[in-house]
Structure 1
Amino acid sequence: MLLAGGSTAWLAGMRAAAPPLPRVALSVEVLDREGRLLRPFALADGRWRLKAETSDVDRRYLDMLVAYEDKRFWQHGGVDPLALLRAAGQVILHGRIVSGGSTLTMQVARLLEPREGSGLTARLGAKLAEMRRALELEARLSKREILALYLTLAPYGGNIEGVRAASLAWFGKEPRRLSLAEAALLVALPQAPEARRPDRHPARAARARDTVLARLGEAGLFGEAEVVFAGRAPVAARRLALPMLAAHAAEAARRARPAAPAHRLALDASVQARLEGLAAERVRELGKGVSLALVMVDNASGEVLARVSGADPLDAERAGAVDLTRAVRSPGSTLKPFIYGLAFEDGLAHPETLIEDRPARFGAYRPRNFDRDYQGTVSVRQALQLSLNVPAVVLLQAVGPQRLASRLGQSGFALKLPPGEVPGLAVGLGGVGMSLDALAGLYAGIANGGQAHGLRDRLDGGASEVEDVRRLMSPVAAAYVAQALAGTPAPHNERPGRIAFKTGTSFGYRDAWAVGFDGRWTIAVWVGRPDGQPVPGMIGREAAAPILFDAFARLVTRPVPFGPLPREALDVRNAELPLPLRHFGRMAGKENGAGPLIAFPPDGASLDREGDEPLVLKVSGGAGPLTVFVDGVPAGQPARAATMFWRPAGTGFVRLTVMDAAGSTDSVTLRIRGAADQDGGAQPGRLSGR
């Protein structure tokens, strides 16, 4: 007991007297959603040093390391007297050092505080200092903490330090699963890291590995057959590059938090690697100076699962240093679905509503279809699927360019306009700026039932992790848009109906786009020159859409189906629609009093609702019976009454639209407040007339 008490007191004194551990500089790591390494960053002096824990390493490698370097590691207190006596006896017997007496703890002490000197006295002093420091380490740290320091600091040749960096550099994988030959090489390298570098001295590396195998085989750690088999394995003759997935996303994460030792992103390493491989294949077919970018988003969360900016960050010809997923470009026709969505929400149109695709002029603005041809009378669904320009502009005039811009901005993805400019009708055909990741977020909002999430790049806290869900369009409108886009004709040799998608081409063939989604994921593709120069003949359907379909084919064995249409949706043919919805005509001007006007409630009003009491709606003007729409869904049968009452099905924001028999409309946006003033998605209410 006296001895035990003295030992405890000695350890406490050693711990109290020991200087603090020096700070170990580590490579910054950028990790994916599962903790897999996307990209490490070298230290300021160029060394690669990745933090390693015993749980990060193959258990057999740890057993081999301890058995070969320090077989009494788990028993001694930092210095092994038996090993020192053995080493001294070998020096006396052979006149040279045959084996060292340093324990793993002493090696850690030397790695933490290297000491210079070549003379016998200097070497003896360094050894004594190592022994004392080893005792201090044992007093302060657990055995596993000491072993983790060795796994992090041990040299493996060149600027490689630590077993994780070594395994990645020599084998191209993390050290969680090592073959016997690989584990033996990692045991042997730190003893003479430069003399045994596999890329420079493969024969020496093989001999050192075989020595480890032979000695541990003799010690009974594994059988002779295993030793023979492992000895036949070739030694890696070249050093591999450390992982560099999602280069731009990793750089952005590090810039955002320069002091953080690690960054956890929402990216999925396997998805990122597949899409980077796809980009590298396809970019070779695109021509000189042409690049591409891809973004993949989870519809339900807004998490960015992949962000591929260009084919190679080191490709100067294609401006590889520029993050093309965030570059602002002209989106072409890719904003059209949001015009249709607002028209559906306002009750201006239904997918089966007929609309005219004929030459039209809007003041000095005269839109034309891409092929310079016109289709005549088509359904709104067909107009969207065929990406006809005139119907899109006609509907945009009805919903209002400013309202479109405001809705997209309120959903978290604002349009980019020159300073002082206001949205005009050209916005619907791409006369505005938008980034690829913003488009991906918007389309994910359609797939998510009209609720758009702010894009989430990180999973390690911060503002980007805050739940941010905003209304993009009503659930019924989102379902109509998704259903229409699912019927868009597929590119050549692709299976139709696999995904819902839309393509776009900017003016002058500068940008080719394709954005598609299924019930779970959205992928957006951009193709073009980073410098903005035109690429004659490059269109979204031929340049970007095949890449989009290939991306889904590589990642999704079977696309996730969309959910059923909302209960309030009208799944009918044109002849079964309410009369005002059967054919869309230009709005009758309010200035001459021809169209209906909502006199009460005013636009932007907040209405308090008590219990099941109905709310009043007063309308003046309009030709014939009036149809009322709540978030794009008819609320009862057409009526001629000027004063009507309706019962909202919930609280929150609601879009109320009145349409007369001639197709003229008026709309207001209201907030319905209940007793607890809770925000919620308002559902279509019931209407009665008096």
Structure 2
Amino acid sequence: MSPDTARRMILRWGSFLLVLVVGFLVWTTWVGRTQLPPLTPDVSVVVEARDGTLLRGFTVADGRWRLPITVDEVSRGYLEQLIAFEDKRFYRHSGVDLFAAVRAVGQAVWNGGVVSGGSTLTMQVARLLENSGTGSWRGKIRQMRVAWALERVRTKDEILELYLRLAPFGGNIEGVRAASLSYFQKEPARLTDAEAALLVALPQSPETRRPDRAADRARLARNRVLDRSVKARVLDQEAADAARMETVPNTRHAFDFLAPHLTERVAAATPTQLRHRLTLDHAMQAKAEALLARHVKGRHKAMSGAVMVVDHQTGAVLVSVGSPDYLDTGRQGFVDMTRAIRSPGSTLKPLIYGLAFDAGLAHPETFITDSPIRFGPYAPQNFDNSFRGQVRVREALQMSLNIPAVSMLDAIEPSVLMARMKRAGAVPQLPNDRPAGLAIGLGGIGLRLTDLMGIYASLAQGGQAVPLVFHAQEELSIAVRPPVVSRVSAWYVSDILSGVAPPKGAVADTVAYKTGTSYGHRDAWAIGYDGGHTVGVWLGRADGAAMPGELGAELAAPLLFDVFAAIKPKPDPLMRPPDEALTVTNDALPVRLKVFRRPGALGAQNLPEITFPPDGARLVLADDGIVAKVTQGVPPFTWLANGEPVVVGSYDRQAEVDIPGPGFLSISVIDAMGQSQAVRIIVE
């Protein structure tokens, strides 16, 4: 080669390299100066259950469903088919696949029209971000420029994630998660090969291939993706043939709309947060909502209700149903009745007795008097306006007798009950901020269902306070916290409540539960627990109007047991009795626990008083004697006639006394404290 020839070759190659370098610098500068569209497009706010399944989503401003999704939350099969069909060199090119672009141009020139596209996934993302068309060359050049620039500031997975969020799937559905839930009612992590292939095909022509409108076109497009996947060795022929046999969905399903009250409140609390993960169990929530809606169907058109389920080992709220139908204005369904302040009726009695057990005032087998009594101006009455006389504490709680419960509350003092409710996480409300009185024990106080769930969860958890947790990231195992009641007292209460007769058809001795009905039949309650879960039910009217004749035991208790049956096939065993629990009959109790004695009421204020016959009365001699009656005093009682014992060790407050004959008769009664009273009558 001559020197002149060599110089010409060097000059030629030098010029070529200079052009390349200058061209590269110009291209780099051109790409670097690209004004990128916003890379964080509006995405729907979603509230998810504990396992990540959707409870409720909120559309973006233009009414589109565009749910947040990450690469890790999509099935690997979908991603492989997507890349094989749309952009097989996605992980190797820098935003534009020049080989595919040249091939697309050549095919277009040779065939006189577009045969295949040269757009990469990155270019498609560029188009989706700018909402630009695909028909003009100017648009294509803009997409290429944005794609190159995008690859400089985002990783491949971040670009892929933008596609997964923005790809159109027909109507107002955008993004693979919204499409998967809408067409298949499942999360995209669980897509089959056929489902994945359909979702790969739809964004190419989302309106003409919508399976709910053009199932045949959708099937053909899906099968082309399957064929391409076989060629790319993403699927084998056998898997592709099996996928072709699957039917194409012809329905677009509505998105889940579960726990609307709670999800709305959570989304509103932190509006800038896109994803909220709650402790709710998706399946349990759906079942509980259906049960409540079914339970009120056919009843008063204004009846509302609420249901909650709590894992009392962690405090996690698994179910929160605020009304039978959020959209039912007749029931005021928009009001969240889990948070409404209502009268708790008799539902605080278990806590009252638990505190009395802790104070050493009583034992489940202790006798307590159910008879007329006054506490200053306050004279409580039983629900049925009758009296049972001497009963065991166990029976008093199981029968929900008012007078024994108020006597217990008087002994422990209302302020103690208020303090323990607050320790359990409750926020009790008193009318006009008045001091707590004895009436709070029978429902004269305002509480929410959430408050009562905390109280009963503490009883279920051996007396420990159980703060309710709604957010999954806050769910922790219960640590040492101040007890609401002792473990022994909690077991006593649980043992008593497990003996309450269940509704007809329900299995006995599996759930410890208590019902309650507020004054005027405005609130019907049923709250109970087994070894793992605490369930609470409220039924009533959101406007506070009365529901004549409706009782907690008849209205709310059946729903409570239905919820237990729905959330688990078999209840978890209740807690075992602690070693220090005193499991004996009344006969074996210490003397101080045999009979309940109100502190400070053992002196002259509690002397036995014979109310019949009155002193100085004249009675006609009868063959069957007379029935003498006594109030006050501490049973058991001994009755004497003219100094001779006629009835010994009676816990009843009345006794049959034989009359020896006409004349003067002295009748005396002696109580367990040795206090006595006598009357003198004339028998004719």
Give the structure-1-normalised TM-score.
Answer: 0.80
The aligned amino acid for 1:546 is P
State yes or no: 1:492 paired with 2:509.
no
- Rounded to whole Å, the distance in 2 between the matches of 1:24 and 1:371 is 64
In the TM superposition, 1:264-275 aligns within 5 A as 264-275=277-288
Farther-moved stretch of structure 1 (134-143 vs 586-595): 586-595
Which residue, 537, 544, 550 being the options, matches 1:538?
550
One-letter amino acid of the structure 2 residue matched with residue 267 of structure 1: L
Q: Distance in 2 between matches of 1:117 and 1:559?
A: 60
Is 1:290 the counterpart of 2:303 in the alignment? yes
Kindly provide the CA deviation profile for residues 53-75 of structure 1, in whole angstroms up to 9, marking residues without a partner as x: 22211222212111111222232
Distance in 2 (CA, whole Å) between partners of 1:439 and 1:171 is 39
The residue type equivalent to 1:381 in the other structure is: R
1:460 Cα deviation after fit: 3.5
For 1:595-631, what per-residue CA distance to the aligned partner results, in whole angstroms no more than 9, with x for missing partners?
9xxxxxxxxxxxxxxxxxxxxxxxxxxx9xxxxxxxx
Take 1:663 and 1:256, find their aligned partners in 2: how far apart are those partners? 65
Q: CA deviation at 1:86?
A: 2.0
Give distance in 2, aligned partners of 1:437 and 1:546. Answer: 20
Aligned residue in 2 for 1:506: 518
Q: Is the 8 A contact 2:313 2:478 kept in 1?
A: no
Pair 1:443-2:456 in alignment: yes
Kindly state the Cα deviation for residue 228 of structure 1 after the two structures are TM-superposed.
Answer: 4.8
1:165 Cα offset (Å): 0.6
Q: Whole-Å Cα distance in 1 between the matches of residues 335 and 396 of structure 2?
A: 36
Aligned residue in 2 for 1:520: 532
Aligned pairs for 1:74-473 (under 5 A) are 74-115=91-132, 123-217=136-230, 221-223=234-236, 226-460=239-473, 469-473=481-485
In the alignment, the residues of structure 2 paired with residue 544 and residue 227 of structure 1 have an alpha-carbon distance, to the nearest angstrom, of 53
Matches within 5 A, 1:19-30: 22-30=39-47
RMSD: 3.0
CA change 1:116–1:83 in 2 (3 A) is: closer
Provide Cα deviations, 1:431-452, integer angstroms capped at 9, x if missing partner. Answer: 2111111101100011112121
Letter of the structure 2 residue corresponding to residue 53 of structure 1: T
Q: How far did 1:476 drift? A: 2.1
Equivalence for 1:598:
none
User: CA 1:199–1:278 in 2, change beyond 3 Å: closer, same or farther?
Assistant: same
CA distances 1:308-352 after superposition (whole Å, capped 9, x unpaired): 111221122221211111111111110111111111111111111
SS in 2 for 1:503: strand
1:479 and 2:491 aligned: yes
* Residues 1:550 and 2:562 aligned together: yes
Deviation at 1:31, TM superposition (A): 2.1
The aligned amino acid for 1:92 is V
Shift of 1:40: 1.7
Any gaps of 5 or more consecutive residues in structure 2?
1-16, 608-633, 635-671, 676-684
1:465 and 1:104 mapped to 2: Cα distance?
A: 45
Q: In the superposition, relative to structure 1, how do residues 82 and 16 fare at CA in structure 2: closer, same or farther (>3 Å)?
A: closer
Once residues 13 and 304 of structure 1 are traced to their aligned partners in structure 2, the CA distance between those partners, rounded to angstroms, is: 56
Q: Does 1:563 align with 2:575?
A: yes
Does structure 1 conserve the Cα–Cα contact (< 8 Å) formed by 2:32 and 2:149?
Answer: no
Q: For the structure 1 residues 77 and 351, does the alpha-carbon distance in structure 2 shift closer, same or farther, using more than 3 Å as the test?
A: same
- Indicate if the aligned counterparts of 2:526 and 2:553 stay in contact, CA closer than 8 A: yes
Describe the SS at the equivalent of 1:334.
coil
Aligned to 1:578: 590
Q: CA deviation at 1:516?
A: 0.4
Secondary structure (helix, strand or coil) at the match of 1:489 reads coil
Query: Structure 2: how far apart are the matches of 1:510 and 1:390?
Result: 21
Separation in 1, partners of 2:243, 2:321: 39
* Structure 1 position 62 matched with structure 2 position 79: yes
Tell me, yes or no, if the aligned pair for 1:189 and 1:196 is still in contact at 8 Å. Answer: yes
Asked if the contact 1:340–1:481 (Cα under 8 Å) also holds between the matched residues in 2, the reply is yes
Contact in 2 for aligned 1:588/1:594 (Cα 8 Å) = no
Cα shift at 1:229: 4.4
Assess, with a 3 A threshold, how the Cα gap between structure 1 residues 411 and 225 changes in structure 2: closer, same or farther.
closer
Q: What is the rounded CA distance, in whole Å, between the counterparts of 2:163 and 2:134 in structure 1? A: 23
Structure 1 residue 146, shift from structure 2 partner = 1.9
Q: Quick check: 1:46 aligned with 2:93?
A: no
TM-aligned CA distance change 1:293 to 1:125, over 3 Å: same
In the superposition, the TM-score normalised over structure 2's length comes to 0.80
Give the secondary-structure state (helix, strand or coil) at the position aligned to 1:91.
helix
Answer with 161-170 or 445-454: which moved more.
445-454
Letter in 2 for 1:345: D
Check 1:34–1:213 CA distance in 2 against 1; reply closer, same or farther (3 A cut). closer
8 Å contact 2:510–2:574 — kept in the other structure? no
- The residue type equivalent to 2:78 in the other structure is Y
Distance 1:430 1:467 in 2: 31
Indicate the residue corresponding to 1:673 in structure 2. Answer: none
Equivalents in 2 of 1:238, 1:562: separation in Å? 46
Secondary structure of 1:332's partner?
A: coil
CA distance in 1 between partners of 2:233 and 2:39 (Å): 38
Measured after TM superposition, the shift of residue 247 of structure 1 is 1.3
Contact persistence 1:14–1:139 (CA under 8 A): no
Comparing 464-473 with 366-375, greater Cα deviation is found at: 464-473
Q: 2: distance between equivalents of 1:420 and 1:223?
A: 74
Paired amino acid for 2:290:
G
Question: Is this contact kept in 2: 1:453–1:470, CA < 8 A?
Answer: no
Distance 2:370 2:28 in 1: 88
Q: Check conservation: 1:263, 1:460, Cα contact below 8 A.
A: no
Q: CA deviation at 1:207?
A: 3.1
SS in 2 for 1:333: coil
**Matched letter for residue 412 of structure 2:** V
Are the equivalent residues in 2 in contact too, given 1:52–1:148 (CA < 8 A)? yes
Output the CA distance in 2 between the equivalents of 1:202 and 1:22: 34
SS of corresponding position for 1:453: coil
* 1:152 CA displacement: 1.2
Aligned equivalents of 2:302, 2:193: Cα separation in 1: 47
Seen in structure 2, the aligned counterparts of structure 1 residues 175 and 14 have a Cα distance that, compared at 3 Å, is farther
Distance 1:495 1:285, change over 3 A: farther
The sequence identity of aligned pairs, in percent, is 48
Q: Which amino acid aligns with 1:544?
A: A
> In structure 2, the residue corresponding to 1:297 is in which secondary structure?
strand
1:520-561 deviations in Å (ceiling 9; x for gaps): 211101111222222222111111111111111122233222
Q: C-alpha displacement at 1:303, in angstroms? A: 2.0
- Give the partner amino acid of 1:37: L
Distance 2:547 2:111 in 1: 77
Determine the structure 1 residue equivalent to 2:610.
Answer: none
In 2, the alpha carbon distance for the partners of 1:255 and 1:313 equals 17
Matching residue's letter, 2:587: A
Contact 1:50 1:152 in 2 (8 A): yes
**Counterpart contact for 2:173–2:179, Cα < 8 Å:** yes
Q: Does the aligned pair in 1 maintain the 2:368–2:390 contact within 8 Å?
A: yes
Q: Which amino acid aligns with 1:486?
A: S
Alpha-carbon distance in 2 for matches of 1:561, 1:295: 20
Q: Does the CA-based 8 Å contact 2:305-2:323 persist in structure 1?
A: yes
Which SS does the other structure have where 2:573 is aligned?
A: coil
How far apart, CA to CA, are the structure 1 residues paired with 2:384 and 2:239? Answer: 69
Matches of 1:274 and 1:483 in 2, distance apart?
Answer: 29
Which residue identity lines up with residue 168 of structure 2 in the other structure?
Answer: P
Q: Deviations over 1:338-388 (max 9, x none)?
A: 111111111111111001112333334332222333222110011001111
Contact 2:134–2:140 (CA under 8 A) maintained in structure 1: no
Query: What is the distance in 2 between the residues matched to 1:385 and 1:40?
Result: 44
